[in-house]
Amino acid sequence: MFSASGSFRGFRGASFAQMLNLPPTSGPRESSKHKSTINGPWEGDSVMQGTKSFRPGPFGKSKVSPKVLVEKYKNGETNALSLLHQLAHVLLLHLEIKETVTADVPPPLPVKEEPSISDSYPCRAFYERKSSVNLQIPHAVKDQLSKLINRHQEFSTCGDTTAAFIIKTSTGCEVVALGTGNFNSKEGVSSNGRVVHDSHAVVTARRSLMRYLYRHLLMYFSKNANLTEKSVFTPSANSNLLSLKSGITLHLYVNQLPKGAAQIPTKLRLNPFSITTLQVNSEISLHLLVEGKVLSIFSSTFDNSACETVSMSTTDKITQWQVLGYQGALLSHFIEPVYVQSILVGDSGGTEIRGMEMSVNQRVEGITSQLPMFYCMMRPHISLVPSVVTSNTGSSHLTYGINWSEGDSSVEIVDGLEGKTIEESPFKSGPALASRLCKAAMLHRFRLVAKEAQRQDLVTTSCYRELKMMAKPYQEAKHVLRAYLCQQGFGSWLEKRPDNGNFTA
């Protein structure tokens, strides 16, 4: 969460071409591409150098149906190129696969794609949604959410926007952190760390994940051998930090696309003279959440004098976590970066994940070489899966959100607009109604771990912000990331107010 007076301007570079690996707009370089086109019934004869051409034979249309061919492709019996040739033969179409040389010209820009013959067949995302591997995680999330809601039916409508983190091992998958919610606090920036400013589902689930990681660090540093063995952590062979045990992977489920650049217009394709570079940069740039609205960092409608606080969009935060890790600065004193291996998006019928792939993966492509040791750009596999919840737009608890992590005896209900626990919440930390996800609560857990780990340098440091700044490699990686995003033309990350983390308890 950031003050409205923070810097938000950035450079509008022509970075879209770099992100999609297009040829540069200057210099003598040439790039070679393969271009597939399906035209109408073949007429005449043409000869091109570097062109592979296929046309139907004289024996008429094949008796094999397109549906059978597509099924074989889905089952892995044929590859994509073979499928194209077979479909061309069955449908009596002329197929050319051209190896073209692109001249040194400005890169084409995206436009909405017109319907094509391939639209009538299942796409990769549709196939992945049906795969057995991708069904395990949403089933686990649905079961866990149902268990939590069934105990507290009065909050059954709080799960409209849901996110969860899942630990996967050879024995199965387990939901370890879960969050719901869709609001930012209307309050100004808290100086005592006891207000949760961003209560969007993914942010809530991530803070619940941090509570899970703290719990397992306490288990690891305990004097109990059984608890140490049950911890997900083990000493790293490459550093004096801990890392997740071999065979454990982390995955993120979201039941809808997060706010921000992930929700850019669907079905974009490269085509010359389509839309302006400014429009493209606006879509894939960093975004702000301002009083319930999502604005590009370049938006001229953002009035910083009229807003108490703003925050970066959820999509941008996921982009950051895939580089810095989901553990945050404080936990980086004890563990190596923790990354998500896959992001599964609940499909509500018309979901398109290309914007998510561009935002999370391609905006930071190539940054790893600039990062300090143990940090990298972790490219998650993004796919569609069944949605686990249905919309409850008429809910009276629209501003409420649920948080839970593995080991919690009950859920906590936070009013997103207030940034605090409600009186009726099954779990309350005290009469002040500060959430267990607030910064002050995280600082308390950090001190418990530092004491168990016998880290006197951390125990004697009292200020929250100072402890974060002491995580030098993490801070260096954050600086590199934000400079990289700005250099690539996606805008400048908002800076937090200096007094935001000066509390001690």
Angstrom CA distances, 122 to 118, 176, 363, 388, stand at 8, 33, 28, 22
The pLDDT of 386-413, averaged and rounded, is 84
pLDDT recorded at residue 469: 95
Angstrom CA distances, 181 to 295, 378, 404, stand at 19, 26, 12
The pLDDT of 454-467, averaged and rounded, is 92
User: pTM for this structure?
Assistant: 0.74
The pLDDT of 272-281, averaged and rounded, is 51
pLDDT tens string 45-84: 333 334 444 444 444 444 577 777 787 777 766 667 677 7
Other residues' Cβ atoms within 10 Å of the Cβ of residue 125? 17
Residue 498: left (phi > 0), alpha (psi -120 to 50), or beta? Answer: alpha
Which residue type does 3 have? S
The pLDDT of 16-22, averaged and rounded, is 39
Distance, CA of 158 to CA of 153 (rounded, Å):
10
Regarding predicted confidence, which is higher, 410 or 41?
A: 410
pLDDT tens string 212-245: 999 999 999 998 999 999 999 999 988 999 999 9
Position 272 pLDDT exceeds 50: no
pLDDT tens string 287-342: 998 877 888 888 877 665 455 678 999 999 999 999 999 999 999 999 999 999 99
Distance, CA of 194 to CA of 386 (rounded, Å):
36
CA dihedral 288, 347, 351, 165 (to 10 degrees): 30
pLDDT recorded at residue 238: 87
> What is the band of 42 on the pLDDT scale with cuts at 50, 70, 90?
very low
Please state which of the ranges 30-34, 56-60, 139-143, 284-288 shows the lowest mean pLDDT. 30-34
Give the DSSP letter of residue 368: G
Position 370 pLDDT exceeds 50: yes
> What is the band of 178 on the pLDDT scale with cuts at 50, 70, 90?
very high
What is the residue-averaged pLDDT of the chain?
79
pLDDT recorded at residue 63: 59
> What is the band of 88 on the pLDDT scale with cuts at 50, 70, 90?
confident
Sketch the domain layout of the chain as residue ranges: 2-16+135-501, 31-129
Please report the DSSP string for 222-258 in residue order: SS-HHHHHHSSEEE-SSSSSEEEPTT-EEEEEESSPP
pLDDT recorded at residue 410: 95
- The tokens for 421 are 């626990």
